[in-house]
Copies of this chain bind each other. A is one copy, B any other.
Amino acid sequence: MAKYCFGIDIGGTSIKLGLFNLAGVLLEKWEIPTRTEAYGERIIPDIAGSVKEKMREHSLGTAQVAGLGIGVPGQVDAAGTVLLAENLGWRNIPLSQILTEDTGIPVKTENDANLAALGELRQGSGRGCRNMMLVTVGTGIGCGIILDGAVVAGANGAAGEIGHIHVEDAVKAPCNCGNYGCLEQVASARGITMLAGYILEMSKEPSVLRGQSLSARRVFEAAKSGDKLAVWVVGRFGFYLGKALALCSCVIDPERIVIGGGVSGAGEIVVEYVQKYYRRYAFPACADTEFCLAKLGNDAGIYGAAELVIG
């Protein structure tokens, strides 16, 4: 009888794998590199090989493994075909089908941001809640949406692409998506760093950020110590993201908004500034939506992938 499952999270530089029991408890985790060369043709055999090796190591037969859940950084359709995953070089790859044939184990595939949200919902900051958004603020801005306990994928696998909400007419440089003025351009770690660089150049105000190599983390640290320019930059970040999340609430009215990703490592200050502007723009019935920081960090994806199997 099946007692285990695998949760797998394919990233641009490494693939995270976890062996879980069917209560969703992580028993063991490891990583392998993501070999993106040659349109990512090594990725699927690498995953299959790593899973089979782990099964041999623990003398597990296919009957003891309920399934593999896999998160992919891209658009995935209902049949588990990856329509587009730019960072992996993939287009129209029937991942679930190929990997099921290769391993003899049922495979379920989903977008990685959606699975991270499912992981936080079941095993992290979303516990006890049925309607949740996980917003990850890192190099880019990702988002997974859970309604009534289930992941929302969208007709084109693009639900939760809130990083591409248009928020700023003044941005004239194109976003990765081809549009201009996307949330991700101004409120991601990269956006925060760029804005700090810009304001340092434009202003004569003294700042501990001057002469340092800039990062979003340093901007938040400086803001915590009361640095005026850094506080201004963090305020702009809060304005952009808080206002965008207020718009999202007018659409789906979530119970809780969980903030994760690299930038959330700065701690409660992130929630504080986002919530300040969220409240200013939210529809009144949604003004008290709960905010909190993510708990599972980089493991959210493998937890969610396992939960996809557990169901």
Q: Write the residues of chain A forming the contact surface with B, with a CB cutoff of 8 angstroms.
A: 75, 84, 131, 145, 147-148, 150, 152-162, 164-166, 177-179, 243, 246-255, 281, 283-286, 289
Contact = CB atoms under 8 A, between A and B. Distances in A.
Nearest to A130: B155
Contacts of A177: 283-284
Closest 6 CB pairs of A and B: A154-B253, A155-B255, A158-B253, A158-B285, A159-B253, A164-B283
Given A158-B283, A166-B246, A286-B156, A251 B252 contact: yes
B160 A251 contact: yes
Given A160-B250, A177-B283, 19 more contacts: A84-B285, A131-B155, A148-B150, A152-B252, A155-B253, A156-B286, A157-B253, A158-B249, A158-B250, A158-B285, A161-B250, A161-B283, A161-B286, A162-B250, A165-B247, A166-B281, A178-B284, A179-B281, A179-B284
A242 to B, nearest CB: 11
A222 to B, nearest CB: 29
Nearest to A155: B255
Contacts of A161: 250, 253, 283, 285-286
A285 B179 CA distance: 12
A251 B162 contact: yes
B164 A250 contact: yes
A150 B147 CA distance: 11
A177 B284 CA distance: 7
A248 B251 contact: yes
B158 A75 contact: no
Contacts of A154: 131, 252-254, 286
18 contacts: A75-B285, A131-B155, A145-B252, A152-B252, A154-B254, A155-B253, A155-B286, A158-B253, A158-B283, A159-B251, A160-B250, A161-B253, A161-B285, A162-B250, A165-B247, A166-B247, A178-B284, A252-B252
Contact of A156 (B150, B246, B253): B253
A283 B177 CA distance: 7
Contacts of A252: 145, 152, 154, 159, 251-252
A165 B75 contact: no
A187 to B, nearest CB: 14
